[in-house]
Structure 1
Amino acid sequence: MQFIDQAEIEVEAGKGGDGIVAFRREKYVPAGGPSGGNGGRGGSVIFVAVENLQTLLDFRYNHLFKGENGGRGGPNNCTGASGKDLIIEIPCGTAIYDAETDALLGDLIEPGQRFRVVEGGKGGLGNQHFLSNRNRAPEYSLPGLPGERKFLRLELKLLAQVGIIGLPNAGKSTLISSLSAARPKIADYPFTTLIPNLGVVRKPTGDGTVFADIPGLIEGASHGAGLGYDFLRHIERTRVLLHLIDATSEDIIADYNTIQQELEIYGRGLGERSQVLALNKIDAVDRETVDLEALARELNHLSHAPVFIISAVTRTGLDPMLQEIWRILDVMNAAEEEVGVLQY
């Protein structure tokens, strides 16, 4: 499946129907009068979030979306039919921006959430609307108003509670395949992962937590280097970052600092996000020459975050790491519930 997480489109609501000029001509009605009806309202364009879509691929080749025009008014004071609203389905987690001003217009996260992005034009008034004591036979009406029109940028930001980050070849894809049923492409070269991979990891209680393997983070990612800038946005919705570090690296501390610097430069609160660190690939490390415990203590001193020594391949150390992630998420959930109770 091709992963498309950005799209630019144009949306235009339907034009309102024109009002008409008409007069009553019924038999046995000696004094006719104006009877031109108003035009119908144009159809709006509405976004709705759905669960069965995972990409913005539907918008790659179709860039113009238009609501239905309102119907023309009719005689006998009949109002024209309203244009049908255009319902556009988008994946949950899609943010809607004004492409010209870069303003955030809407952010649809929950399934079924709706957002009316452009309003249909108002219908024109028929001549019956202008009847008065001074003008008993108005011979004019008003045209319908055009619908709103906007150029939009859609950005899909994955909905995952835990984001797995790290330099290429840190073992992120291997880890998510070990923790869940996800089967990402795995190979021994940089940028094997070209799209974010999602996997559901089961808690001891049976609840599922979504983990996301975020690809392409290298030095300069926040400025567009590698693949990182395109996918840093997917970390924005995560609650906990699992920072994976290759224990076979020649400079583990430098690797850690590289990713942290990119998070800080990108901004949007990523540098302050709760983190869990994991030294991965210990199965490939000579424990007699490399003091992993000392490196873990140094990382803990730098990050003030818990550090675990693991192997995604042999599944060594994964359970204590997961227990810490569950603990952090439970604390966050409890704090949110308490805030909700206080606000209530």
Structure 2
Amino acid sequence: MCAAWLYTRPQELEGAGSVQYTDADGSYQIHLAKSSERFEPPKVVNVKCEPGEEYRFPLCVTFYDSRTGENVSHSMAKKIKYSQISFEQPENSAYPWRATEPVYSGARPDAALTSFMDFVLESGSSRIIWTLGMTNGDTIRLYLDMEIEEIPVMHYYPEDTLMQTAEELQALVDEVDRTIPPETIVYLHLPAVTYTGDLTIDQHPINLCGSEEGRTVFTGHIYVTTMAEKRINYFDHIDFLGSRDRIGISAADRVHLTDCTISGWKTGVLAYGDTWVNAMHCRWENNQIGFHFNADNADGSRVSHTQYTGNQFIGNGTAVLLENVPTDISLKFADCRFAGNEVDIDNRCRQELDISQAVFE
């Protein structure tokens, strides 16, 4: 009788990254990790941060049957009564770690619950504690230690660096390739000039920042072939103005565009190979094809952002051509405007889209 009481009394379990759990129906491995893939989660996660930047990544709770290895998150999620996330972090931090409410996410369908962690460099290292209260009274605590490391950053400005012409800019990019360590983030703060030649970014990822005093303009072809595993080339506040027989930007590595104008090209932006390209608050005008997504060699691991908020597609032949998109996650075109295009969206690969908040004229 005493043994039966001990077996049925509520359990309290704790583990770093994972825990073995048994209830009346079976035995399970519970994982806490940045994805829902089947692997042994680390107990410590090292995160590299750039000063002044905001960061977010998902944490997933996933259940596996200990005997078969089968993912049983859907059935086990019904046994979770409540879920809470807390942090052991410096007191009175001006930038404390934060977490979104743990919920089921269609973007990570194999996980029982997903929550997004929000932090900055100044948040500092922290322990994330995820507590699960089960319907049978059991309590499970999983934790991960987050170690924050500052990323080195280099800034180049036109006041002290030659970058007035396309040739000078290419020479600077080539110098970065030769002299700057791969882990260093590089910003080129461009002057308000028109670059008439082509530019190739083929080794070290580069962030191109347009002038704050006027518009920086490129009329040549931009090649991005860096193939950096975890880095993104950011292009901000720039006009790419071209001719109808050329491609404006061809990207075989990840590129994010913000507040840019892409106008007058045969193809404004081409994403191809193993890559992901995102654009927000950009104007795509008078192109034969505005944005062409044809990442036919990508496996989805390089997807970085599926929001395409605030873009305007005006007077293009085809505004958006989706030929190969390496994700099943919906692309969201919130606050986008499509006007005067012959074709607004040519969705050849039948990519899932959210155009509920877009305007078509």
User: TM-score scaled to structure 1, two decimals?
Assistant: 0.25
Between Structure 1 and Structure 2, the one with more helix by share is: 1
Give the number of the structure whose alpha-carbon radius of gyration is greater: 1
- Bigger RCO of structures 1 and 2 (CA < 8 A, at least 6 apart): 1
Between Structure 1 and Structure 2, the one with more strand by share is: 2
